Structures are given as C-alpha cells and as structure tokens.
Amino acid sequence: MKMQTNNKTYDVCIVGSGAGGGMAAKILTEAGADVVMLEAGPFYDSAEGDMFKWPYNSPRRGAPTHRPFGEFDAAYGGWEIEGEPYTTTEGTEFGWFRSRMLGGRTNHWGRISLRFGPKDFKRKSIDGLGDDWPISYEDLKPYYDRVDKLVGVFGVNFDPSLGLENEPDGIFLPPPKPRAYELLVKKACEGMNVPVVPSRMSILTRAHNGRAACHYCSQCNRGCSTYSNFSSPPVLVNPALETGKLELVLNAMAREVLTDSEGLATGISYVSKEDGQEYQVKAKVVILAASACESARILLNSKSSRYPNGLANSSDLVGKYLMDSTGAGMAGIIPKMMDSIPYNEDGIGGMHLYMPWWLDNSKLDFPRGYHIEFGGGRRMPSYGFLGGVHKYNGKFSHRNGNERKNGGGGYGQQLKEDYRMFYGSVVGFAGRGEPVALKDNYCEIDPNVVDKWGIPVLRFHYKWGEYEKKQAKHMQDTFEEIIHRMGGFPLWEKPGKEDDYGLLAPGKIIHEVGTARMGKDAKDSVTNQFCQTHDVKNLFVNDGATFTSMADKNPTWTILALSMRASEYIIDQKKQMNI
C-alpha cells in the first residue's frame, strides 16, 4: 500500500456532500475559501434519474430487491451495503441507512421541511428530560429564513387561533391545493381537534432561483429531472462548483482526521474506492458532515497518543445520545373512496396536508410529540399492488352489491372487480415523533470488525424506552380513530403491547442525530453552539450529530440552518485569526 499525499493545503476539507456538507461548501466557496469535498459515493445528477418510468419498464416492476424504497428510488445504498457492515450489541437494534452518492440522502428524502420550534430547543426546561440546546429558536431563525429563501419551501404561516406556536412562521411559496381525500381526512379530524394544515415541503410550486416549478409527477424520491425539489447537488454543490473554488473528490471514503503535534486537525486520510489507494488531503479547517453516525465513526477512529479514545472525545460523548425519530403506521380502506373517479391525482411527491403535534404533553403519559404524515388515493399502481387483499375484501360486499358468501380472497372476474373497486381507496397514516435523548443509546467502534476498506465499523446499542412505546400507542389509537371517523376499516389489526404498538426499529425513520451533541460545557458535550468541537478548534461537525435533542419534526431543515450558521462562524473566526 502506498500513501499518496496531495501537497496542496486547502482552506477547508468537507467530508460529505449532503445537506450539511453541501451547505458548508456553498457558503465557504462563495466567501472565497479553497474547499475540497470528499464524497464516499459516485457522481449523481437527478436529471439522469428514473423519473417517469413505468413499472413495466423493468422485469421486476419496481420491486425493492436492491433498493429499500423500490427499484426507481434515487438512493444508492440502504440499510445494508455490501462490504460496509455494522453490528449491534445483543438485545438491541439499529438500522443504519446510508446513501453513498453525491448529495447523499437528500436525493431521495421526503422533502418535509420543518423548522424546529421554540420549545424544541428547550425541552429540559419544559419537562426535565434530556438537555436544552445551547441556542434558542431566535438564534437559528435568521438562518432558517435564509434557507427558506435559498432552497424554496411551500407552506403557510398558521393562524394563531390554531395554537401551533411551536410551528414557527417561515418564508413560504404557496402550497398546492389539497387532494380531495386529504380534505376528507381533514374533515374527520375536525371532530378530534387534530389540526390538518398545509404541509411544508421543499418542492417548488413556483419557479425559484433559476429552478423550474414542479411538474407534479409525484416522484420526488426518484430524483427530479428539473431540480424542482431540494437535493444537495443542484441547489448547493453545483453553485459551489461554479465559484471555481470547490474541488470534488468522489468515491473517497474517509478513514480518519489527521492531527499535528499541537492536536489540531490537518486534513483527512481516505481510501479511494476507484483504485483502492490511500490518500491524504491537507486542510486548515476540517468539517465532518458525513451523517451523524459516520461522522462519529470518523472521530472515534481518529485515534492518536494524544487522543486515545478518538478525536474531540474528551467528554467521552462521541457516539452517545444517538436518536432516531419514532415511527409507527396504519392504513385503512375508506368505502367513500372506493370506485373512485379517474383523474390525475399525483400532485407533489408527498402529502399536501399534514398534522403537526397538537397536544399538551403535561396531560399525557409520554413527554414528547409527533406529527402525522398521510397519503393514499389513486397513485401509480406499483409493486405490491393491493397485496394481501384476501385479508380485507371479505369485509365488503361485491361490487355489484352481492353478498360475499365465501368470505375474503377469491379469484376470477369477481376478484378483478374487487381490485378495481379498492384501487384508490386506501389511506396510510404515519407518525414521526421525538424520542428522549439517552446516553445509553449510542454507537461505538466494534473492536473486532472492519469493513472492506479496513476501516473499523460501528457497533450500535439502541433501545426504545417506555416513553417512545407509549407515544406509538397514542399514534395507533389516533390513526384508528381517524380511519373510523372517515367511515373506514384499518387494513390490519392494531399492534398491541407485545409488538411495542408497531413502533418501528430505531434507524428505520432515517433521522439519525445526536452523536456529537452541542452544549455549553465541554465536559458534557462534543461541540459548541457553532458546531465547533470543544477539543479541536479547527474541527467542525456540520450534520445532524450536533443535535442536543430531536423534535417532532424532520431534521434536514435544521441541519441546513446549523451548517449555514457554522460555516459563517468559520469565516468570521478566520477573519479574526482565531482558527
């Protein structure tokens, strides 16, 4: 093996090209810095994606054999990647989703773009659990505003009478009109006092900053040929490249942060997946934005005599307080929606309406909230079409009104009529909630296992607590009531206590955060409020790792805002000669 060193010293080396890395590259190159960006996967341009493919364009009809969200999904990767394993400790579970590609998981994400609210930064002050962030909503608000304007997000500011004060105002493009069935959900929720309001998604309902408006094919997860939704490559990385100040190194798998005798970061050692050779790249500032767990892995693997338990880890908290959003779901058949009237119901790639958290936890048996996402109707028929029909068609009379003498299942003309009748009548509900940060949920380096590049891998230790299970129960009860109020029937039996109320395994919601949390005290946190590590002043973590707590919201918008803020802090500190 030969170690190859690039003699140039860049101003900044960024590891990762997703939301955090892309934003850092844009801000820093536009300020004139010489930046090198390492991405562990290949080039990707969503213009080349699988938009507009029909299931029959493939012999597997879109089956998720190789990609968890279906064959046409944009993510290169998934919960399992050949040659890049991870492990879990006995009796715990965690699924680690990685997209090895330019732009990372921003290429396939749900585009649900929710700011954290004032309460989300101060949860300990409210319920005594976890910790407060070292910043408040007001500190981050200007950056959220700028992210809204830069990237583009639709939505509305909520009427104060709705009592949604933890869902801050934003700078929104107009939202798309709701689909008819979404209004039916809204109507059902009125009797439950569950607010159903326009969603907030980074999909352009108007042309914005040189990008075309959405063409409503509903396939955002496949990658957009017109860049009408947010993903990092066209919106952040491309403008950075256009400055001429960004060098992009693809297929570069970061191994460790290099340090000098002063203990400062000097660059990154990485293995090229193209030639298998080791390379070193030098930089005055290093930004890790490789995903919360990958950044923790790089820090923990950056061991030296000065830093025997990994870099920036004097608190011993790197990898600790790992969080993923809670998730549970239920789907129902709504008789009113059966035999639906044909029209193009695609809309944007996702929900036009959603339910933000609406209750007061002090009156509940769990401390944190969740929001509800939902979808259904006349979507493109896809792999798994009305699967398991035998479990529910017996509940309904035949299309011609005849009684179903033999119960569910069947075959032949009547079954064909059933499929026609049920198509478009299913609505699925999914809760996405906030877990409480626990030190005992963590990732660490497995002492025995390396990946195919010889890099020690992560071992996860994660268990849901009673709070999260109770939250999932509340989700299920809520979904069931909504479906009943719509006049519908749940498609499967409501999961009970023995199944943790259908609470999905940690990692399944792909909102990993918390592994290098920010805080005021260096003994109790890994970075300061500017994502700068307490121990190494020229080392930053610009991804979800710095989250002190999760929220009942998706993390991407906060990652973008924090990375923007941290990047401008770097520029400022550089000017003051502090780093």
Q: How far apart, in Å, are the Cα atoms of 147 and each of 120, 143, 317, 536?
A: 19, 6, 30, 28
Distances (CA, A) of 12 to 37, 90, 501: 8, 40, 46
Closer Cβ to another protein, 192 or 241, answer by number: 241
Among residues 6, 30, 53, 364, the one that binds another protein under rule CB under 8 A: 53
- Least distance CB 400 / another protein (angstroms): 13
User: 211 or 255: whose CB is closer to another protein?
Assistant: 211
Among 5, 52, 572, 578, binds another protein (CB under 8 A): 52
Q: According to the binding rule CB under 8 A, does residue 484 interact with another protein? A: no
- CB nearer another protein, residue 233 or residue 514: 233
Name residues whose C-beta falls within 8 Å of residue 488's C-beta, 6 or more positions apart in sequence. Answer: 332, 333, 334, 335, 336, 427
- Which residues face 37 on adjacent strands? 14, 248
Contacts of another protein in 411-440 (CB under 8 A):
411-413, 415-416, 419-420, 423
Amino acid 570 reads: I
Partners of 132 in beta bridges: none
> By C-beta, is 341 or 577 nearer to another protein?
341
Q: Please name the amino acid found at residue 318.
A: V
Asked if residue 213 lies in contact with residue 228, where contact means CB atoms within 8 angstroms, the answer is: yes
- Between 100 and 122, name the residue whose CB sits nearer to another protein: 100
Q: Does 187 bind another protein (CB under 8 A)?
A: yes
Site string for another protein, 349-388 (x = CB under 8 A): -----------------------------xxxxxxxxxxx
- CB of residue 395 to another protein, shortest distance in Å: 11
User: Which 313-352 residues touch another protein, going by CB under 8 A?
Assistant: 336-337, 340-348
- Beta-carbon-side half-sphere exposure of residue 432 (alpha carbons within 13 Å): 24
Of 350, 101, 47, 20, nearest in space to 228 by CA: 47
Distance of closest approach, residue 550 Cβ to another protein, in angstroms: 29
Beta bridge partners of 253: 271
- Nearest distance in Å: CB 139, another protein: 30
- Residue 501 in the binding site for another protein (CB under 8 A): no
- Between residue 530 and residue 559, which ones bind another protein under the rule CB under 8 A? none
Q: Is 314 exposed, middle or buried (0-12, 13-18, 19+ CB in 10 A)?
A: middle
Amino acid at site 435: P
Pairing of strands 353-354, 456-461: unpaired
Q: How far is CA 43 from CA 72, 288, 329, in A?
A: 17, 19, 34
Tell me whether strands 426-433 and 539-541 are parallel, antiparallel or unpaired: unpaired
Q: Which is nearer to another protein, 178 or 507 (CB)?
A: 178
492 binds another protein (CB under 8 A): no
Q: How far is the CB of 47 from another protein (least distance, A)?
A: 5
In the set 4, 42, 47, 118, which binds another protein (CB under 8 A)? 47
**What is the closest distance, in whole angstroms, from the C-beta atom of residue 235 to another protein in the complex?**
11
| CB-based burial, 236-267: b 16+ in 10 Å, e otherwise | bbbbbbebebbbbbbbbbbbbbbbeeeebbbb
How many chain residues interact with another protein (CB under 8 A)?
91
List strand residue ranges (DSSP E) for 146-219, in order.
197-198
Using CB under 8 A as the binding rule, the residues of this chain from 61 to 80 that contact another protein are: 61-63, 65
**Residue number, 308 or 412, with CB nearest to another protein:** 412
Terminal Cα distance for the chain, rounded: 34
CB of 10 to another protein, least distance (A): 20
Q: How far is CA 236 from CA 17, 230, 253, 477, in A?
A: 9, 9, 21, 41
Alpha helices in 276-405 (DSSP H): 292-301
Spatial CA neighbour of 295 closest among 540, 565, 10, 551: 540
Q: Is 227 in the site for another protein (CB under 8 A)?
A: yes
Work out whether 215 is an interface residue with another protein (CB under 8 A). Answer: yes
| Cα gap 415→394, rounded to integer Å | 11
Q: Which of 25, 147, 237, 258 binds another protein (CB under 8 A)?
A: 237
Nearer to another protein, 388 or 454 (CB): 388
Shortest distance (Å) from residue 185 CB to another protein: 9
Q: Looking at 205-213, 256-264, 322-330, 540-548, which segment touches another protein (CB under 8 A)?
A: 205-213
Measured CA distances, 268 to 308, 355, 537 (Å): 18, 43, 16
Check binding of 523 to another protein (CB under 8 A).
no
Candidate list 16, 41, 104, 234; residue touching another protein; CB under 8 A: 234
**Least gap, CB of 162 to another protein (angstroms):** 12
CA nearest 264: which of 571, 533, 521?
Answer: 533
Max CA separation in the chain (angstroms):
83
**Three-class secondary structure of residue 104 per DSSP:** helix
Q: How far is the CB of 328 from another protein (least distance, A)?
A: 24
Q: Which of 84, 124, 169, 216 binds another protein (CB under 8 A)?
A: 216
Q: How far is the CB of 112 from another protein (least distance, A)?
A: 17
**Which residue from 389, 505, 522, 571 is in contact with another protein, where contact means CB under 8 A?**
389
Smallest distance, another protein to C-beta of residue 154, A: 7
**Which residue, 343 or 401, has its beta carbon nearer to another protein?**
343
Among positions 149-178, residues that touch another protein (CB under 8 A) are: 154, 156, 173-178
CB nearer to another protein: give 17 or 325: 17
